[in-house]
Chain A
Amino acid sequence: MTEAKQKVVIVPCSGIGKTYGSVSRQAGYVVVEDLRPEDTQLAALSLLVMGDEASRAMLAGNPAITIDGCKLACATKMVRESGGVVAQDFAVLDVYRRYKQFKPQGIAELNEGGEQLARALAEEIVGIVDHITSGSGGRR
């Protein structure tokens, strides 16, 4: 019997109505749907807040990467409160400081800068995903 492959859980900010929250979610989609669909899965922060059993179970057996839209760091805090292991936490603002040319604007629909920032963030996340799935692990 083969063991189920471990998938890294990506948990973005749920800041609806905030540009940086939208960047975090877009980056999550890019990772899970485009760049590493075989190695990652998305968890909804709102479900974790509600105590959703399936979401908590997802975290129980897999490392998580959190993407926070602001310094409140709700995603990181909620994953830890749910018993998950945060392998790496990203803050959109810190990433933006590294990519000043990608100025994010928009909420429901990000501008081009926001999309590019989300892509850049997604690529940084993929670096961590690959590190974890190669067996090198991450930090709590």
Chain B
Amino acid sequence: MPDFLEFIVDKFTFQVATDRVYTTAGVWARPEGALVRIGMSDFLQQRSGDVAFAEVKPAGTRLDYDDEVAVIETIKVDISLGSPVSGTIMEVNPALETTPEAINQDPYVGGWLALLEATDWEVDRARLQDPQAYFEKIKEQAEEETR
């Protein structure tokens, strides 16, 4: 289990896993050897609502940074997620086919979206926010919205 930064706004508790980096839109990326695993942040999944369907681009798809990697349909919205890394999708989380709610229940572990072979992780890494910066950004955003 990853460690978390955590804050509470109103009745909601938001967690930011500290072992990965984030796009400003709330997609996380975590390097695992030569591959990079990606998924939705807890903040993004809670704001988006219960997931009805998760359609991730299939294995073998080549993506540039911020290309659409998945479309998530929730009870509130349809959201297009941009890839935090450029590269090739090697594996899609098979659990999402039958249990897309894993994104809501376990966004940082069981609810991952895809595993990619990055073209140049260091270049993409430089574009992404570290956990503390992402944490500060969403905390401010959440507090602003409750005012």
Contacts and interface: CB of A to CB of B under 8 A. Distances in A.
Interface of A: 18-20, 70-71, 93, 96-97, 100
Contacts of A97: 52-53, 100
Contacts of A71: 50
B53 A20 contact: no
A100 B53 contact: yes
Interface of B: 50, 52-53, 75, 100
Contacts of A93: 50, 52, 75
Given A20-B75, A97-B52, 6 more contacts: A70-B75, A93-B52, A96-B52, A97-B53, A97-B100, A100-B53
B2 to A, nearest CB: 24
B49 to A, nearest CB: 8
Contacts of A20: 75
Nearest to A91: B50
Nearest to A100: B53
Q: Which 3 A-B pairs have the closest CB atoms?
A: A20-B75, A93-B50, A96-B52
B42 to A, nearest CB: 16
14 contacts: A18-B75, A19-B75, A20-B75, A70-B50, A70-B75, A71-B50, A93-B50, A93-B52, A93-B75, A96-B52, A97-B52, A97-B53, A97-B100, A100-B53
A93 B52 CA distance: 7
Contacts of B50: 70-71, 93
A27 to B, nearest CB: 16
A86 B36 CA distance: 46
Contacts of B75: 18-20, 70, 93
